[in-house]
Amino acid sequence: MGRYARITGWGKYLPQRVVTNAELETRINTSDSWIRSRTGIGQRHVAADTETASSMAAVAGEKALEVAGLPASSLDLVIAATVTAERIFPACASMVQHALGAERAAAFDVNAACSGFIHALTTAWQFLKAGSYDTALVVGSEVYSRILNWDDRSTCVLFGDGAGAVVLQAYDSPPGLLSFVLANDGSAADILYVPGPCGVRSPSQDGRYYLAMNGPEVYKRAVNAMTSASRKAIEAAGLDVRHIELFIPHQANRRIIETTARRLGLPLERVFIDVEQYGNTSAASIPIALCEAAEGGRLQRGDHLVLVGIGGGLAWGALVLEWGTGPAPGV
């Protein structure tokens, strides 16, 4: 008998400070109508000076454990998806493990930018499926506000800070995660990236490490990649698009989401969108959206969900799961 991995807990954290489009109008040459028409974003949350990727992830993780009804001591594994950890090392997941008191859990990070949560969740799934572990915490947490050039209207209006987390438990029967697709195109590394302190120094860099993006090229590749990955994952799960009750994509841009849904043949009522409230929170966007959907009553036992994202790399991935909570692992 095979093993299944089921999401049994979820939680999110958004910083208190909200930066609206109206506030950005006073700082850079932009407007609320310009931002909304191109991205669908109305506001974003920005971390306080005392907040970090790990501190936000710990709060989201604690909430996810509470929903699952589990103590942190039950965790075998903590995986954090982030590109904005406060330290090069140790891993953000290591600090989350300590903050939660998950003393016996292994902990490491996954760096796949905005698709990081998909990569982290599928990684945890493989550990549970293999029988190596029974319970994992997967978090996505980002503080992009610290890698943005706030004078660059083409990038600073897009991103926000936040964290989302899920508890994944092993079961001997469905429902659970059904299929996944992961992909990467390293030839596109220069269309979306952030330079770092260990690379070749640039005199113009002056110690600053800002996100750089070729927006039109990212848009085109994002739609194609997310559409293709979603189709492959749905097919691998033995399903058809008509069986998908809810599509939860990476919340980068409303136009990307709507175009992808249209190409898949999914009506918008089966697509979850919260980009207006939060902007692009990178690796945190999918778990935040999943949490919002669960809290809003959008998920019912037996529903089939597609989660899909794309980010710097270019790295992308999709997975299909059958939603359902249940009793203790092994049942």
- Report the chain's mean pLDDT, rounded to a whole number: 95
Domain 177-322, architecture per CATH: 3-Layer(aba) Sandwich (3.40)
Is 250 one of the annotated active-site residues of the chain? yes
What pLDDT is stored for residue 206 in this prediction?
A: 63
Residue 302 reports pLDDT greater than 50: yes
What pLDDT is stored for residue 203 in this prediction?
A: 55
Q: Residue 135: which of 82, 85, 61, 83 has the closest Cα?
A: 61
- Of 92, 111, 280, 304, catalytic: 280
What pLDDT is stored for residue 330 in this prediction?
A: 36
Cβ(307)–Cβ(118) below 8 Å:
yes
pLDDT band at 202; cut points 50, 70, 90: low
For the chain, the helix, strand and coil percentages under 3-state DSSP, each to the nearest 5: 40, 25, 35
- Of 250, 253, 291, 304, catalytic: 250
| CA distance readout (Å), 329 to 10, 69, 149, 188, 323 | 17, 12, 46, 41, 15
Q: Determine the length of the chain.
A: 331
Residue 329 reports pLDDT greater than 70: no
Distance CA 47, CA 13 (A): 10
Cβ(11)–Cβ(165) below 8 Å:
yes
Residue 331 reports pLDDT greater than 50: no
Residue 325 reports pLDDT greater than 80: no
Distance CA 140, CA 65 (A): 15
Which CATH number, 3.90.1820.10, 3.30.70.980, 3.40.50.620, 3.40.47.10, labels domain 4-171? 3.40.47.10
pLDDT band at 197; cut points 50, 70, 90: confident
More confident residue, 1 or 179: 179
Average pLDDT of span 23-41 = 96
Residue 204 reports pLDDT greater than 80: no
Q: What torsion do the CA atoms of 258, 260, 261, 265 make, to the nearest 10 degrees?
A: 130
Where in the chain are all domains bearing CATH 3.40.47.10?
Answer: 4-171, 177-322
Distance of CA 135 to the CA centre of its chain: 20
* Distance, first Cα to last Cα, the chain: 12
pTM given for the model: 0.96
What pLDDT is stored for residue 2 in this prediction?
A: 77
Q: Residue 99: which of 228, 285, 91 has the closest Cα?
A: 91
Is 224 one of the annotated active-site residues of the chain? no
Average pLDDT of span 223-246 = 98
Residue pLDDT, tens place only, 253-281: 999 999 999 999 999 999 999 999 999 99
Tokens of 40: 């669908």
